[in-house]
């Protein structure tokens, strides 16, 4: 399927969810995004500010992950006849511990990339090299993030089915699932850029609708990827 097909399915899913339900969750996800941006601008010159910023970032990450899980479960309720999800279905103790461990592993991987980049700059600090390195690091980070796009869904699936699986296994599951699919998901996410421009001009209000829409499109992508993987 193409990006437009995933978006069409997502709009169909959105129409099947009560408007009040998805708008409220959309608001939570918008607030989580705003909280993330706010922590990026916070001063971290002393330890107390750093801890406050860190805790707020973790809370924002949990809320965003909960929204992704919520809309994926709604997709399942619509197409597979499962129960309608609770608003905080992605914030159980099992979810939180796994999401926290995953966040630490992800941060560690990105930190290693940045350390390698800084090490390279010490060897060669020319302007051209710096720009090339910045471009290469950006591409690698985007690629890694795309390969890890569905770790949250894998975590939720294992929690939902009571499977005793390690976070590392769930990371590897997402990594394998996204093999050969990164460009397709990148194009899907990029196709929402026009909506993001409108979100900017509406001071974030349109995000209450866009976040559910985009989450459902990604959930549809995940469902198709899982089905394709099982057929192989």
- Taking only the tens place, the pLDDT of each residue in 105-119 is 888 887 787 777 777
More confident residue, 154 or 104: 154
- Specify the pLDDT at position 96: 93
Average model confidence (pLDDT) across the chain: 89
pLDDT for residue 232 is more than 70: no
The predicted model gives 184-199 an average pLDDT of 96
Q: Residue 43 above 60 pLDDT?
A: no
Within a 10 A sphere around the Cβ of 175, how many other Cβ atoms? 16
Residue spans per domain, the chain? 18-179
Q: What pLDDT is attached to residue 46?
A: 67
| Token representation of residue 51 | 């801890």
pLDDT tier for residue 192 given thresholds of 50, 70 and 90: very high
Place of tokens 């990105």: 110
How high is the pLDDT of residue 121? 65
- Mean pLDDT is lowest, of 117-121, 175-179, 215-219, for 117-121
Q: Are 209 and 23 in contact (CB under 8 A)?
A: yes
Q: What percent of the chain has pLDDT over 90?
A: 65
Q: Measured in Å, how far apart are the chain's first and last C-alpha atoms? A: 17
- What is the Cα–Cα distance from 74 to 64, expressed in whole angstroms? 15
Residue 114 is predicted with a pLDDT of 73
Per DSSP, 186 falls in state H
Residue 172 binned pLDDT confidence (cut-offs 50, 70, 90): very high
């Amino acid at each position: 399927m193409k990006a437009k097909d995933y978006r069409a399915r997502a709009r169909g899913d959105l129409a099947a969810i009560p408007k009040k339900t998805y708008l409220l969750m959309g608001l939570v996800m918008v607030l989580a995004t705003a909280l993330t941006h706010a922590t990026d601008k916070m001063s971290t010159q002393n330890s107390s500010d750093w801890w406050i910023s860190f805790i707020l970032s973790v809370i924002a990450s949990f809320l965003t992950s909960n929204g992704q899980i919520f809309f994926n479960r709604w997709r399942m309720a619509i197409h597979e006849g499962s129960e309608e999800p609770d608003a905080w279905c992605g914030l159980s103790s099992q979810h939180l511990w796994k999401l926290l461990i995953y966040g630490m592993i992800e941060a560690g991987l990105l930190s290693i990339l940045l350390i390698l980049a800084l090490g390279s700059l010490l060897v060669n600090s020319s302007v051209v090299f710096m720009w090339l390195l910045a471009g290469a690091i950006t591409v690698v980070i985007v690629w890694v993030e795309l390969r890890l796009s569905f770790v949250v869904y894998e975590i939720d699936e294992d929690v939902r089915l009571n499977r005793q699986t390690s976070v590392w296994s769930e990371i590897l599951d997402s990594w394998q699932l996204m093999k050969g699919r990164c460009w397709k998901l990148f194009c899907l996410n990029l196709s929402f850029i026009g909506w993001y421009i409108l979100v900017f001009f509406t001071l974030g209000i349109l995000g209450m609708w866009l976040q559910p829409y985009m989450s459902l499109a990604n959930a549809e992508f995940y469902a198709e990827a899982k089905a394709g993987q099982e057929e192989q």
